[in-house]
Structure 1
Amino acid sequence: MRFHKTFCVLTGLFCFVLALASTAMGESKPNIVFILVDDLGHADVGFNGSTYYETPNIDALARGGLVIENAYMYPTCSPSRTALATGKQSFRTGVYTVPVLEKGDDQQNIFSRWTVGAEHTMYSQPLADAGYKSIHLGKWHLVGPYPKEELAMEFPLKEKLQQPDPWDFSWVPYHKEHCRQYYPEGRGYLKNIGGTYRGDPALEVGGYKGETGGYFAPFSNPFIEPKPDDKWLTDRLTDEAIGFMGEHQEHPFFINLHYYTVHRPIRGRSEELVQKYMNKPGDPITGQGTSEGRNKEREAQYATMIESLDDNVGRIVEFLDKNGLRNNTLILFTSDNGQNVGRNDQLRGKKGYIYEGGIRVPTCVNWPGKIDARRTSNAVTCLDYFPTFMDLAGIEYDGVLDGHSITGLFQGEPESLQTRPLFWHLASCNKHGTCSVIRKNHHKLIQFLADGKLELYDLKNDPREERNLAVENPEQTQVLLKELVEWRKANDVPLPPGSVLR
């Protein structure tokens, strides 16, 4: 009996030591820092060729990590952020665009939802169940101004949803007292710093024309408690992220750092920085910084917002380095859609458009020792990040997900990711008519839902999408169209009532 007890004690001690060794060897759950920038264009960073904007810290992450050259979002923030959070296509959630941006009537549109209902799990929830300590900072935009009324409406809607004026705070008590389930704290996050229903920080009299634009203190955001040393919103959000990591560094943490920058309203970080970019030569390849007069000043102001973003990314990395956390922390850096204020003459379109300038975004993933530093041409979509987070955390998630984990790209080029099709479905009108899209290999087919018009582009040889090959290459067009139609039918994807398609 004594031998048996001694054996059990020794066995337990051995298992405990083995567990400690496994943790020391890096088998513990990695920390994840998810940096999502608002409206940052594909070429707004040095690692994608910009010579006008200065992003040395972000570029260093890119050099030491995986640059995803063909990383895609939706053309606007609401569907992108909903797809990111839920891992689901727009037709499953009903979020097709920012509701207030819709054009046309209920025959041309399936008017977009705003609030993401509780039936749609967000990645933060299984992460919390797995022991992650999580914080959301910055833009949320996954709840409407009147969520309970909205979700009680009969869908499809007859009219698009509306929002209050930026300086109307009548919604705040209702949200703080009765809408917690639609906010980060109701989705597994321990804290929410700055996340509201709004898509920009300009919650003040005048909105975009207000004095601070929401970027300079005092911040008018009702979900940010004022502090005496507040100066600049991007700095404050980073301060909060660093404070949270310091508080929870003994546990795996997830930092949902979704900066408001570089969304309008554009504000220069300082007069000195604005003058620096006013005096800097523009980039003739992208067109950045080549405007004149008031437009040149606006470009310079925009450049200071990008430089401030880069400074703050550097602060995050510095904290992780100094606290011995860097080797067990994955950093994902991306944007929610293409450039809005920025410029990139190398791609067609911008925010709101299904063309590359509207959906292709700068993206890199960095994890020292775990990712082979290089660039990949594999196409990745915002739907892929939810399953990737589950993979990293070792979570067996059995809910509906429309993307795939991209951890296989960290040290290889899986064929399954190379050959798969990517799909978009935009059932409400914004910059152009409703459409469905398939991208496979290097071809992209757009089918407009109102009249069935087709556009086919060879992205490898025509990245600016200047030559529509739909008539010239009917065989490729029909192959992709068949797959697109089959995808819609297999998933019961809804069409606007006025569509000629069935």
Structure 2
Amino acid sequence: MKKLFLVGLCCAWSAVAAPKPNIVFILVDDLGHGDVGFNGSVYYETPNIDQLANNGLVIENAYMYPTCSPSRTAIATGKQSFRTGVYTVPVLEKGNDRNNLFSRWTVGEEHTMYSQPLAEAGYKSIHLGKWHLVGPYPEFELGAQWPIKAKLKQPNPWDYSWAEKHKTDYVKYYPEGRGYLKNVGGTYRGDPALEIGGYKSKTGGYWAPFNNPFMPEKNPKDKWLTDHLTTEAIHFMDEHKDGPFFINLHYYTVHRPIVERSKALTEKYMNKPGDPISGQGTENPKQKLTTAQYATMIESLDDNIGRITEFLDQSGLRENTLIVFTSDNGQNIGLNHRLRGKKGFVYEGGIRVPTFLNWPGRIDARRTQTAVSGLDLFPTFMELAGIEYNGVLDGDSVAGLFKGEPKPLKERPLFWHLASEYRNPTCSIIRKNDMKLIQFLASGDLELYDLKKDPKEANNLAQKNPETAQQLLAELVAWRKANNVPLPPNAAMEF
């Protein structure tokens, strides 16, 4: 059953009562739930991020898909994966067309992105960093008969044969075709390593000169990519400080390749004691080197968040600016013994992400246990901007959490549907009232976890608590049936 968003859904915000807020939306790539101080890390250092989080609303149970393509598509469109056909990063899929509905890459024009109604409402918007909402060969995707028989492919990082068409024929799939005034660095790729050698190149794309065809400046003043994207964001905010502005700051960091910010910082983390509770920094020397380099990328991210906050404070923009901070999936580097799995897995370590919203005077400083999805960002932006958006959205505005705990948000179920295979077999998931049920599609096997008592998902309760498992399964199947959710050919069930 399709869901329509209605303004004022959570009854906490009247956009008529105040000017449209500026919005800075920070999406980090592959930052794990436990990779920040406000979620318990004592190895990684994030003081600027922690200060914003601790003075804002920390969403302890914030969720994405387990990989970036479906997460970013869901965020941008407000739609579940079955509506867009984006189930994972296409080049990561495993298996054949029997156990997969191979994933799309390009998000078609029929799927509106939040940036478009925002632009129509007067927002001046910029996209910076990772885009990943278009494939390298849109003409193949759009002309193919779906479902396709083999997964999509991508060229080598240093092959720019795709670039010219993307700047002309396919610009409609890029930020400028979606309501943004400018695109700094967004391409089809999921990482910045566009040099010969890719991940093994000397710079990994994190150091200038940047070989990104969509980077206006190849060798800017800031030689470190994260610094450069922040500087561009600040310039745009300064230029449009009369507002309202929307900053889509989607850092490439901390995605692989892991590139140290400096040798001095790496040495600092190599000499820092590890945390036995999370496991961070306790690896063997070779693995700890990678973790230490990863830590320098996190510290650099934190430094740049501090630069953004300082600019907003000094320019008098802070009081009318909402900062949203989250990640597109769980961590891919390092350890987190508190949660099971990591990027690519459907367990909490793969889909639960660090998230907060900060808006001085408008959002109470606290932590909430209410589960929130990346799908909720689109309707939240619409409500805050006072936009009556009538398109199909699968999430809900979470503005009600700014000052309270709306019962509809607390009691609603969250759903996932992954019809292509990466690190787990294909599956559907429902999370409701701290209970999480996974149904694997090929076998029909069930896994049931009580996330409040068992956040590590160590005890499958499907056999011990069959009544709850069957209740959740019935709701999951009803959701699939009502929405005509497609299943892979080898699925053990009809719906």
TM interval, shorter chain, is: over 0.9
2:124 is aligned to: 133
Pairs within 5 Å for 1:46-445: 46-224=37-215, 225-445=217-437
Give the distance between the partners of 1:388 and 1:203, measured in 2 at CA.
Answer: 34
Give the distance between the partners of 1:209 and 1:378, measured in 2 at CA.
Answer: 41
Percent of counterpart pairs with the same letter? 74
Give the distance between the partners of 2:350 and 2:86, measured in 1 at CA.
Answer: 17
Give the distance between the partners of 1:455 and 1:92, measured in 2 at CA.
Answer: 25
Output one character per residue of 1:17-72: Cα deviation in whole Å (capped at 9) or x when no partner: xxxxx99x971000000000000000000000000000000000011100000000
1:484 is aligned to: 476
Q: How far is the alpha carbon of 1:81 from its aligned partner?
A: 0.1
Q: How far is the alpha carbon of 1:251 from its aligned partner?
A: 1.9
Q: How far is the alpha carbon of 1:282 from its aligned partner?
A: 0.7
**Is the 1:41–1:342 contact (alpha carbons within 8 Å) kept by the matching residues of 2?**
no
Q: Does 1:466 align with 2:436?
A: no
Cα separation, partners in 2 of 1:36 and 1:426, compared to 1, 3 Å: same
Give the distance between the partners of 1:408 and 1:251, measured in 2 at CA.
Answer: 24
Runs of 4+ in 1 over 6 A off after TM superposition: none
Give the distance between the partners of 1:342 and 1:27, measured in 2 at CA.
Answer: 43
Q: How far is the alpha carbon of 1:177 from its aligned partner?
A: 1.6
SS of 2:370's equivalent?
strand
Ranked by relative contact order (alpha carbons within 8 Å, sequence separation 6 or more), the top structure is 2
Give the distance between the partners of 2:17 and 2:293, measured in 1 at CA.
Answer: 43
**Is the 2:99–2:420 contact (alpha carbons within 8 Å) kept by the matching residues of 1?**
yes
Q: How far is the alpha carbon of 1:342 from its aligned partner?
A: 2.6
Gaps of 5+ in 1: 1-21
SS of 1:467's equivalent?
coil
**Is the 2:212–2:218 contact (alpha carbons within 8 Å) kept by the matching residues of 1?**
no
Q: How far is the alpha carbon of 1:230 from its aligned partner?
A: 3.2
Counting matched residue pairs gives 480
Give the distance between the partners of 1:126 and 1:229, measured in 2 at CA.
Answer: 34
Q: TM-score, normalised by structure 2?
A: 0.96
**Is the 1:26–1:328 contact (alpha carbons within 8 Å) kept by the matching residues of 2?**
no
2:18 is aligned to: 27
The one-letter code matched in structure 2 to 1:389 is F
SS of 1:378's equivalent?
coil
Higher percent of residues as helix? 1
1:3 is aligned to: none
Give the distance between the partners of 1:149 and 1:99, measured in 2 at CA.
Answer: 14
Give the distance between the partners of 1:264 and 1:487, measured in 2 at CA.
Answer: 36
Give the distance between the partners of 1:85 and 1:462, measured in 2 at CA.
Answer: 32
2:489 to 479, 483, 497: 497
**Is the 1:218–1:230 contact (alpha carbons within 8 Å) kept by the matching residues of 2?**
no
SS of 1:384's equivalent?
helix
SS of 1:452's equivalent?
coil
SS of 1:67's equivalent?
strand
Give the greater-gyration-radius structure (CA). 1
**Is the 1:201–1:221 contact (alpha carbons within 8 Å) kept by the matching residues of 2?**
yes
**Is the 1:102–1:160 contact (alpha carbons within 8 Å) kept by the matching residues of 2?**
yes
SS of 1:32's equivalent?
strand
Q: TM-score, normalised by structure 1?
A: 0.95
**Is the 2:129–2:186 contact (alpha carbons within 8 Å) kept by the matching residues of 1?**
yes
SS of 2:382's equivalent?
helix
Question: Once superposed, what is the RMSD of the aligned Cα atoms?
Answer: 1.1
**Is the 2:87–2:420 contact (alpha carbons within 8 Å) kept by the matching residues of 1?**
yes
